[in-house]
Amino acid sequence: MINRVVKNVDEAIADVKDGMTLMVGGFGLCGIPENSIAALVRKGVKNLTCISNNAGVDDFGLGLLLQTKQIKKMISSYVGENAEFERQMLSGELEVELVPQGTLATRCMAAGYGMPVIYTPAGVGTEVAIGKETRKFSFHGVEKEYLMEHAFEADFAIVKAWKGDTAGNLIYRSTARNFNPMMAMAGKITIAEVEHLVPAGELDPDQIHTPGIYVHRIFQGSNYEKRIEQRTVRKK
């Protein structure tokens, strides 16, 4: 039987080196690979390019790597909750590429499918399109201009799942099934941390979201905080 289990998070990220490009799963603070991010902080790798829906908050998620200035460039679609991100961007310390959220997801998906580029109407005629190729296509009888976007090329995809098995098959829960599945397909090496690690054959095949063929390393994480980014409660 295929066994993709590594003993711990430090072994999983051992060959992440300075200057690499990482896809990091999650949506806001939901479904983020908390253990892997903490291990990258401890490892001290620098000049990273991180592709992620968001940049975490000041003291959690990718915000921890921003605090230690280990990230050189962020490619994201939503960054509004991180004051340190804002400070570094405005001061010129951090390179930032803002991408429409659907385009971000599709560029990840294209990488997983082996497609070098996609064409999308999102961003045409805006700053997003500066320096990029556009083409006109007729679709459903309507001719429009489309922007060419390149698939992402990431050295590692680091994702978080609720449950996984020793063969690397993954199941996500609720909102955590966001960027994680498409990023898991897209990295040259995919690392998965899971809350529950079970023997191969224990997961219902109909419930698996990411087949193990996409996953190279898997480990069981611990001490998940599952923080809520914006807590809204009803008045008494």
Domain architecture of the chain: domains with CATH? 9-101+152-220 (3.40.1080.10), 117-150 (no CATH)
CA distances 50 to 20, 45, 46, 55, 226, Å, are 9, 12, 11, 9, 21
Contact 44, 22 (CB under 8 A): no
Give the pLDDT score at 232.
80
Contact 103, 76 (CB under 8 A): no
Give the pLDDT score at 81.
79
Give the pLDDT score at 78.
86
What tens-digit pLDDT sequence spans the chain (236 residues)? 789 999 999 999 999 999 999 999 999 889 999 999 999 999 999 999 999 999 989 889 999 999 999 999 999 998 877 889 999 999 999 999 999 999 999 999 999 999 999 999 999 999 999 999 999 999 999 999 999 999 999 999 999 999 999 999 999 999 889 999 999 999 999 999 999 999 999 999 999 999 999 999 999 999 888 777 777 888 87
Q: Is 19 left (phi over 0), alpha (psi -120 to 50) or beta?
A: left
Q: What is the pTM of this model?
A: 0.92
Give the pLDDT score at 136.
96
The Cβ of residue 29 has, within 10 Å, a number of other Cβ atoms equal to 21
DSSP β-bridge partners for residue 135: 146
Give the pLDDT score at 215.
97
Cβ partners under 8 Å of residue 133, min gap 6: 147, 148
